[in-house]
Structure 1
Amino acid sequence: MTATPEIMTAFTSGLKDINLDEAGAPRPGQKAAGMKSASATIYDMAATLSGGGDLWNWGMYDARLVEEIRALVPGFGEWTDGFSEQLYFLALRDLPGGLDELAGRDVLEVGCGMGEGLNFLSRIVPEARMTGLDLSPRAIARGTATLARGSALRFVHGDAEDLPFEDASVDVLVNIESSHTYPDLGKFLREAARVLRPGGHLSHIDVFTRQRYAAMGKTAAEIDELEWTTDHDISAEVRAAVRRRMAQGSHFRKKLERQRLNPLMRQIVAHSQILMFGGMFAGYQPNSTIRALSRIGVVPWMSGLPMESYRHQVAVRR
């Protein structure tokens, strides 16, 4: 299945509906189903077309994290720009017990995509048992075919709002740049609380509109099983990563230059990727060529949600 204009419209209108509602009310059944179907189709297509790489999320840049990762993963930053990996590293590194207490533990990522981020974490904490879940069947199939390694790293198809895991079966649940697409945030958080063992942690990283952040606070306060311990604004670090990616001579730009594209198509591809991976959040302004193409409808303009912050929040299961 391809992402038709109708599917893209369902997805973008669903995103606006979800992220501009300060109350955080669950979407009605038909709307929720439509949004999930559109999301699965889009990410199925991405899994089919993607050649793999290092653009898994908007990423972050913190020089201290880079040095910590290099001490654990020799050669880190030589083959990718390392920005997506830093978000994943932060998700585990800033838990109360840190990395040392994760050996032998069960780590679940909800919204794992094709699994590259979880694969990276499995190198950081090789003694942990890691499972990735995603709504896209193709993404899960690809992760299973290319990355899975028995109980050390496996992938499961499923819905974040209806997790196919037993009660109290997970020590750490990671959710990165995914929950802003969920029609029922409260249902996801209740599911996270259900599958976490007492004392287990939810490490939640996402981008927020003003309204979605208010809805997150309201919804989280209603779930007694989760105690929220930290809420760190990492917007500056995320913007730093996006700007470094956009810069001339960056890993992202060099990778594009190696593709067999004419100069105009290269600009169009770069523009689309920058919009998808946080360009507006970081103050991106397209050049005159892209502006002209947007006026005649060849490329999308600077449409999108008014994202105001990017945050890392941690909760413990009571």
Structure 2
Amino acid sequence: MTAFTAGLADINLDESRAPRSGAEAAGMKSASSSIYDMAATLSGRGELWNWGMYDPGLAAEIEARLPGFTDFGTDGFSEQLYYLALRDLPDGLDGCADRTVLEVGCGTGEGLNFLSRLVPGARMTGLDLSPKAVARAEATLARGETLRFVQGDAEKLPFEDSSVDVLINIESSHTYPDLGRFLHEAARVLRPGGTLSHIDVFTRQRLRTMRGITEEMPQLKWITDHDVSAEVRAAVRRRMAPGSRFRRTLDRQRMNPLVRTIATHSQILMFGGMFAGYRPPSSVKVLSRLGLVPWMSGLPMESYRHQVAVRV
């Protein structure tokens, strides 16, 4: 975990825009794969791995398409990010029907499974670096050509040129050692006229790096860049508030008070707490002084953005 955290800080705070390669990149990818292998083993059915967003209008649109979608096992915030990924494309959500959709960084596939229910007829593939996440997705969610999952590297996509209509990437690329390589791979596999829907959280330096890379890539024409930071912060605050589904789930688990305090604090930090202005309670401060938990951790993320590009 320490090596991965150090690698994240290195690529997200670097001012030079230099891609990481060789042993450095391989080490970071290995650490990332191991962490998400463990997460795939420990996470529950239906859990989506992103910070989520809260927009009442989007929630109402989803409810109209999938009535009761938040009634069982979800607060709906992570689903709203997935919905946004397709809804704000030039042809909209319905324009993805009968298209080939690829998610790079799909985790255990729950987000793509959600989208497959919204877009009948689409052929969806999820790719992830974690072998266990992909194995779990294939075992529990795959449905022939409608929804399938493959293991692979975002910087070396195992797909033919011009074979994908829509590529989505949600809260994943900030972990890639070579962001430029991923964007070039996305452009390679997209058909002319195909779209890239990219959603992620950015440090000031990483956003500058991405903009510098995209300015030098004529293959992709960027048509929108929306800052959704306010909506993401709203979701994080609601998810972590007393009485939320997240809190109730933790409360149902058999933990002593000390373990519950540590688990709650760790989960809040992992799912955007710092970005949303989280301040730990005094009990965590005491535990931090004892070396049991970090007081605060993470990167100085400044914005959360949805960016869309068209393959020229």
Q: Deviations over 1:35-67 (max 9, x none)?
A: 001000110111112223434100000000000
Correspondence 1:64 to 2:57: yes
Partner amino acid, structure 1, of 2:49:
W
Q: Of the candidates 100, 109, 113, which is equivalent to residue 115 of structure 1? A: 109
Q: 1:221 deviation in Å? A: 1.0
Q: Is the 8 A contact 1:207 1:310 kept in 2?
A: yes
Query: TM-score by structure 1 length?
Result: 0.96
Q: Percent identity?
A: 76
Distance 2:47 2:36 in 1: 16
- Give the 3-state SS of the residue equivalent to 2:285 in structure 1: helix
Q: Is the 8 A contact 1:113 1:136 kept in 2?
A: yes
- Give the 3-state SS of the residue equivalent to 1:314 in structure 2: strand
Q: Deviations over 1:181-236 (max 9, x none)?
A: 00001100000000000000000000000000000100111111000000000000
Runs of at least 5 residues in structure 2 that lack an aligned partner in the other structure: none
Distance 2:132 2:91 in 1: 34
Matched residue, 1:48 = 41
Correspondence 1:127 to 2:114: no
Matched residue, 1:185 = 179
Q: Deviations over 1:209-267 (max 9, x none)?
A: 00000001001111110000000000000000000011111111111111111222212
Aligned residues: 311
- Give the 3-state SS of the residue equivalent to 2:20 in structure 1: coil
Correspondence 1:280 to 2:274: yes
Q: Is the 8 A contact 1:54 1:82 kept in 2?
A: no
Q: Of the candidates 76, 90, 99, which is equivalent to residue 69 of structure 2? A: 76
Q: Is the 8 A contact 2:21 2:178 kept in 1?
A: no
Partner amino acid, structure 2, of 1:9:
T
- Give the 3-state SS of the residue equivalent to 2:79 in structure 1: helix
Query: TM-score by structure 2 length?
Result: 0.98
Distance 2:103 2:46 in 1: 19
Distance 1:55 1:71 in 2: 21
Distance 2:27 2:45 in 1: 28
Correspondence 1:29 to 2:22: yes
Matched residue, 1:226 = 220
Residues 76-115 of structure 1 aligned to structure 2 (within 5 Å): 76-79=69-72, 80-115=74-109
Matched residue, 1:169 = 163
Q: Which moved more, 1:53-62 or 1:306-315?
A: 53-62
Q: 1:142 deviation in Å? A: 0.3
- Give the 3-state SS of the residue equivalent to 1:204 in structure 2: strand
Q: Flag as ranges the 4+ runs of structure 1 deviating above 6 A.
A: none
Runs of at least 5 residues in structure 1 that lack an aligned partner in the other structure: 1-7
Distance 2:25 2:54 in 1: 34
Q: CA RMSD in A?
A: 0.9
Distance 2:268 2:297 in 1: 12
Q: Is the 8 A contact 1:54 1:81 kept in 2?
A: no
